[in-house]
Amino acid sequence: VSVDVSSVALIEFCHARGAMYLDTCIEPWAGGYTDKNMPASHRTNYALREQALAMRKGRETGATAVITHGANPGMVSHFVKQAMLNIAADTGVAAGDPQTREQWAKLAHLLGIKVIHIAERDTQVSPVRKRPGEFVNTWSCDGFVSEGCQPCELGWGSHEKHFPKDGQRHDFGRGSAIFLTQPGAATRVRTWTPKAGHFHGFAITHGESISIADYLSVKDGEKVVYRPTVHYAYHPCDDAVLSVHELAGRNFVMQSQQRILMNEISSGGIDELGVLLAGHSRNAYWYGSQLSVDEARKLCPYNNATSLQVTVAVLSGVIWAMENPNRGIVEPDEMDFRRNLEICKPYLGSVVGEYTGWNPLTGRESLFPEDIDRDDPWQFKNVRV
């Protein structure tokens, strides 16, 4: 869970010694996210994932190495599976008991899921407000800035009709994702959560955007028949939003001071973290955790809502690895979602599912005409701000 230490190097180190491994994101060595000498495509999480998965050859039954298993990426992959089963039950679709990647992808296709947002709104606040020249966050400032400076990435769905003008495809690997030629911290998208309603979030690159899109792809030979668009839609705490605006004004050079909000957080704020599955017969369904800072403090001292959501997902990943010690390199999508949620749920506050009639065209063009696709609300063109 550190930064600036190569995950690939650590996996190699652990495999050679028969030691198990877990991380919450695939890290390069220091500077790897922002190395201008590297093509943008190679500074992406897509590229890092391809490097990690390439290590599977010859290590299929080695010591378990769980990659990208925090809250997100990680726990949200388990949310997606539970959400799909809930939608199937509510719409009369016979889901069966999916076990394999092919079965889960077939179910997503059958349900008609076009879009999956990892939709998160953090309302935790401190009376000690952000100062000029300071980056404030409810979790790692270094981690947020690192991923925020990477190119915006998203799993690219088969229903999409409008390829972004600043979009780029990769010329290597599985082809499940694209990237934009601008930082994720400079890219905003429209999304929805039950308590916050609709809002604008940052489309920060995250491993789950790529792995979930890949996992749920249906292919006929080499042709992709179905794939959902998947991306993060993150509204951090208000002081972190101010910090990101200042960071952008500094041309993405990190502020000299950093502060992680913890004990000084006021009572009442929550981290509402879940997945929004949209485009199906019930429009959109959010499933996830609504954990308040007050609940987090009672459940586990020395935490805020955000840190507890992450650490309990790390805990569940560690337990799953101990129960499955010789699985080689494993992604969250390939793990037992029921077992992981069983471990996590007692620490997640309210775990809820809620349908909504909202879509990215709701309330649009109230001030000016916009270039939108009225035929399909769930086009990324409509989601992007």
Which pLDDT tens digits describe the chain residue by residue (385 residues)?
778 899 999 999 999 999 999 999 999 999 888 888 899 999 999 999 999 999 999 888 899 999 999 999 999 999 999 999 999 999 999 999 999 999 999 999 999 999 999 999 999 999 999 999 999 999 999 999 999 999 999 999 999 999 999 999 999 999 999 999 999 999 999 999 999 999 999 999 999 999 999 999 999 999 999 999 999 999 999 999 999 999 999 999 999 999 999 999 999 999 999 999 999 999 999 999 999 999 999 999 999 999 999 999 999 999 999 999 999 999 999 999 999 999 999 999 999 999 999 999 999 999 999 999 999 999 999 999 9
Cα–Cα distance for residue pair 115/279, rounded to 1 Å: 6
pLDDT of residue 249: 98
Domains for the chain: give ranges and CATH numbers: 71-312+336-383 (3.30.360.30)
Cα angle at 195 between 194 and 198, to 5 degrees? Answer: 70
Cα–Cα distance for residue pair 225/219, rounded to 1 Å: 5
Cα–Cα distance for residue pair 3/85, rounded to 1 Å: 35
DSSP state of 70: B
Cα–Cα distance for residue pair 230/207, rounded to 1 Å: 10
Q: Which helix (H) or strand (E) holds 258?
A: strand 257-260
pLDDT of residue 2: 79
pTM: 0.97
Q: Which helix (H) or strand (E) holds 116?
A: strand 115-122
pLDDT of residue 243: 99
pLDDT of residue 4: 86
Token couple for 267: 């009572």
Cα–Cα distance for residue pair 134/209, rounded to 1 Å: 29
Burial readout 294-317 (b: 16 or more C-beta within 10 A, e: otherwise): bbbbebeeebbbbbbbbbbbbebb
Cα–Cα distance for residue pair 380/163, rounded to 1 Å: 9
pLDDT of residue 104: 99
pLDDT of residue 35: 85
Token couple for 248: 């952008």
Token couple for 50: 């391809």
Cα–Cα distance for residue pair 215/83, rounded to 1 Å: 15
DSSP state of 372: -
pLDDT of residue 34: 83
Neighbours of 136 (CB within 10 A): 25
